[in-house]
Amino acid sequence: MSAQSPSEPAIRIDNLVKRYAPAKGAKGTMTQGKLALGGVSFDVPQGSIFGLLGPNGAGKSTLINILAGLVNKTSGSAEIWGFDIDRQRRNASRSIGIVPQEIVFDPFFTPYEVLENQAGFYGIAARLRRSEELLEAVRLSDKRDAYARTLSGGMKRRLLVAKAMVHSPPILVLDEPTAGVDVDLRRQLWELVSELNRDGVTVVLTTHYLEEAEELCDRIAIINHGQLIANKPTRELVDMAREKVVEVTVADAPAAAPAHEAFVRVEWDGARGVEVTYDKDRMSAGQVLAILQEQGLTIDDVTTREADLEDVFVQLTGTGTD
């Protein structure tokens, strides 16, 4: 695949719109087609790990399916590695590898056969195929000749990554790759993705595990109801959260929960634990403790907690992570 200027984005999305066709209602009336994407625009920088987040039904999968050539956009434009997805579909497709949510390969093929067949679909000559190299990269060399159906869930996920990389695309898209995978296998998968990124592959990731996005991604875009509501470097996005928490253990249970107009929220367990959420733009942790002491609380222990990506996600979308 030809190189492009490092200053150019790996993916460019410009005013992308997708409205699905009207559907027939229960009494034969036509309902308005759903607007899945309402004019989304953003760039994915080369060499980055880019997070694409949003609640279920936000439009993430629609956007990915448009890039993959599985869904036709209504209007707008998209470029993959500088290739327009309409005018240069073949080159655009060869520039991207998609790891879908679903595990999709013939269970009666071996991992080696899965990769060889996929390489054949891309017209890669036998002498140029990387099947053995990819199996080693995803740590499946010892399963080379086992039936794919006998692999564990984590192994199948890693095989999907190898399958997406058979044509050496500069961009890898992972759509909820760790759904239903245990913590250890999730960690293995992220180590693999991080290695690919260090080798120069641009990674686009959708996930419901916000702690993963916060740890892995350089930049994050959030989509809600088909609209782009945030697109910032990860640290900047986390810093948007204004709330901070002070958790205190007091010597004696207070007669009533402490209160102050500057406190956003106070949670008292009815015994000795008090959790105060406050706006860090209005006051400091020290001021919170001083107010608690003024109200007669004797503090035995203190911990503080910074806001994280989940706090920002809820703040922006008004919804949880599921």
Q: How confident is the model at residue 322 (pLDDT cuts 50, 70, 90)?
A: very low
Segment 306-322 mean pLDDT: 71
Q: Which CATH superfamily is domain 11-238 in?
A: P-loop containing nucleotide triphosphate hydrolases (3.40.50.300)
pLDDT at 321 over 60: no
pLDDT given at position 281: 79
Segment 303-310 mean pLDDT: 78
How many Å apart are CA 212 and CA 186, to the nearest integer? 9
pLDDT at 1 over 60: no
pLDDT at 156 over 60: yes
Tell me the domain boundaries of the chain: 11-238, 243-306
- What tokens appear for 317 in the block? 């979308």
Tell me the percentage of the chain whose pLDDT exceeds 90.
51
pLDDT given at position 133: 94
**Residue 312 neighbours by CB distance under 10 Å:** 25
Residue 19's contacts (CB-CB under 8 Å, 6 or more residues apart) are 33, 34, 35, 36, 74
How many Å apart are CA 318 and CA 191, to the nearest integer? 32
**Residues 41-51: b if buried by 16+ CB within 10 A, e if exposed:** ebbbbbebbbb
Dihedral in degrees, nearest 10, Cα atoms 122, 123, 126, 132: 0
How many Å apart are CA 322 and CA 307, to the nearest integer? 19
**Within 13 A of 318's CA, how many CA atoms are on the CB side?**
3
CATH class of the domain at 243-306:
alpha beta
Amino acid at 180: G
Q: How confident is the model at residue 150 (pLDDT cuts 50, 70, 90)?
A: very high
Segment 79-98 mean pLDDT: 95
H-helix or E-strand spanning residue 194: helix 183-198
Residue 123's contacts (CB-CB under 8 Å, 6 or more residues apart) are none
> pTM for the full model?
0.79
Question: In angstroms, how far is CA 163 from the centroid of its own chain?
Answer: 20
pLDDT given at position 26: 63
Report the relative pairing of strands 202-206 and 49-53 from DSSP bridges. Answer: parallel
Please write the tens of the pLDDT for every residue from 204-258.
999 877 888 888 999 999 999 999 999 999 988 887 777 788 999 988 877 788 8
Segment 52-66 mean pLDDT: 91
Of the two residues 254 and 12, the one the predictor is more confident about is 12
3-class DSSP state of 258: coil
Residue 196's contacts (CB-CB under 8 Å, 6 or more residues apart) are 161, 165, 172, 203
Q: Name the most confidently modeled range: 46-55, 99-108, 307-316.
A: 46-55
Please write the tens of the pLDDT for every residue from 91-116.
999 999 999 888 877 888 999 999 99
pLDDT given at position 8: 92
The number of residues in the chain equals: 322
pLDDT at 181 over 60: yes
- Mean pLDDT of all residues belonging to the chain: 88
Segment 162-187 mean pLDDT: 86
Segment 268-277 mean pLDDT: 85
Q: How is 122-163 classified by DSSP, letter by letter?
A: TT--GGG--HHHHHHHTT-GGGTTS-GGGS-HHHHHHHHHHH
Q: Name the β-bridge partners of 17.
A: 38, 75
Segment 60-68 mean pLDDT: 93
Report the relative pairing of strands 23-24 and 83-84 from DSSP bridges. Answer: unpaired
pLDDT given at position 76: 96
Report the relative pairing of strands 96-99 and 171-175 from DSSP bridges. Answer: parallel
Question: What sign has the CA pseudo-torsion 228, 321, 66, 24?
Answer: negative
φ and ψ at 83, to 5 degrees? -105, 125
Q: Name the β-bridge partners of 310.
A: none
Q: Which residue has the tokens 């000559």?
A: 125
pLDDT given at position 27: 67
How many Å apart are CA 106 and CA 259, to the nearest integer? 61
pLDDT given at position 256: 80
